[in-house]
Amino acid sequence: MVINDYRYRIAFGQLVGKAHLPKGLPCQDNSICLQKNGVTVAVLSDGCGSSTISQYGSKITVNSIAKLFTDDFDNLYDGDYSKIDVQLEKRKRIVDTIINEEINFINENEAIFEEYIEKNNTEYEKHLKSKDRLSFCLAALYSTLLFFAEKDGKYLLGRIGDGVLGAIVDNKLKIVLEEKKEGEVNGTIYPYNIYTFAQGNEMFYCDKNFEFKRPSPNVNISGVILSSDGCSSLFWYKKDYFHKRYSSVVSEIFNDVSQCDDLENANSILIEKYVKDCVENSSNLDDCSLAILVNPNFKIEEYVIKDIPKPVIKDVPDSVIVKIATDKVWTPEEVNKNLGLSDEDEFYIKEAGFAEFCIKYSLNYEDYLILYLNLKKKYLSSDNDTDLSEDKILNFLITAIREKVDVYKLIDLDIELLNLCENGEIENYESKNYDELYLNLVLSNDKDIGFEE
């Protein structure tokens, strides 16, 4: 297949990881690059390791999403993305496309699932106490989603689950999408999880675990690399522990693919030279998969660094944690001594878990306590007529940290909604109106995306 009629040269491939070979398991990763109808699309999916048949789910995922974007890119791209209903419609189509294809596969391949149920009968019987057979079969197809699509210099990209998407943006190679885990206890979210949540509330199609972005057409994306969790870490420059950036090997991959105008040759080079090396050197022995799009005239002038927060737990003395986590008033002298604030400041906190919250999220607790004090000054001052309390401001701060939004915007939104409620424009500020406006704030981070951190 000659691929020189499009803006990008493409390559993709996957190989089974060392951990699967002794178990006789196939590669559960799948990837694809497709050029059709003027669209170039790359999709990568990692099947859940706890299921022995998740390779079917990842295969369905990459094929169905590649077809969706090449068949209907314009409808997926067009519209006002700042509006919730537009976001919902696009996101729903992406997730539902995968789930509907998986349901069709289950209905057409009864033997595969009968055998799977027989081998996992104990788990199946427990599952049936609260759910049905179909949901058990769909869970067996758990797989992640990572995608990028381009047409006429317009782009769409997204992620559900792990894996990393990097891109050469205006000649700068940067990490664009990767799973944001807040701790090992938080498991990976898959498209089926989003679908399940959305059956109770369609707003879950806009869950933060589903990143879906439409970059500005003013940016120039000359290369994209999609990598599964099994090999992503092998592409980092390793000399600085608290910074993450791609190493020069990614430039070598782009260069090799950019010189191939035959897909079979490009795939062969990618697998034999790079994916095999990933399998051999992967510390977690996982399956490895890559999907590459690159313009033959690409340039990399800068490897953009992404900061990794330094853990602060060792820097927080136990005596300070006790002071923060107890129900007490800090005197001005204590504030000045512990936080370096002026004598007129006073800190009062009832939330016993706030110090632990800062530690869990690797936050600098001093910075966030100072921020809390500044919020109190702004919103509890005598000339600010708001129905807020110290506890409510603290809850807003914790919510803002967790959702990664501006806490000042969040509080101002709440005040605005209260005013709308008092004026009779909405019935209840905690109703669906509030959910939509709040969600719009969270999603506003994607509006003018130029891949700025």
Residue pLDDT, tens place only, 216-242: 989 999 999 999 988 887 898 866 555
DSSP string over 331-357: PHHHHHHHH---TT--EEE--TTHHHH
C-alpha to C-alpha distance for 62 and 55, rounded to whole angstroms: 11
C-alpha to C-alpha distance for 19 and 259, rounded to whole angstroms: 33
Among candidates 194, 192, 195, 93, which has minimal Cα distance to 137? 192
CB 175 within 8 A of CB 228: no
pTM score of the predicted model: 0.71
Spell out the per-residue pLDDT of the chain, length 453, in tens: 445 568 999 999 999 998 877 778 899 999 999 999 999 999 999 999 889 999 999 999 999 999 999 999 999 999 998 888 999 999 999 999 999 999 999 999 999 999 999 999 999 999 999 899 999 999 999 999 999 999 999 999 999 999 999 999 999 999 999 987 654 334 789 999 999 989 988 888 988 889 999 999 899 999 999 999 888 878 988 665 557 889 999 999 999 999 998 999 999 999 999 999 999 887 668 899 999 999 999 999 999 988 765 443 334 344 443 344 333 444 445 544 554 544 444 444 434 456 556 666 666 666 677 677 777 777 876 565 666 777 788 777 777 776 666 777 778 777 776 776 666 665 554 544 555 555 555 555 443 333 333
Q: Is 146 exposed, middle or buried (0-12, 13-18, 19+ CB in 10 A)?
A: buried
* Contacts of 48 by beta carbon, 8 Å cutoff, 6+ apart: 28, 54, 57, 142, 143, 188, 190
CB 201 within 8 A of CB 272: no
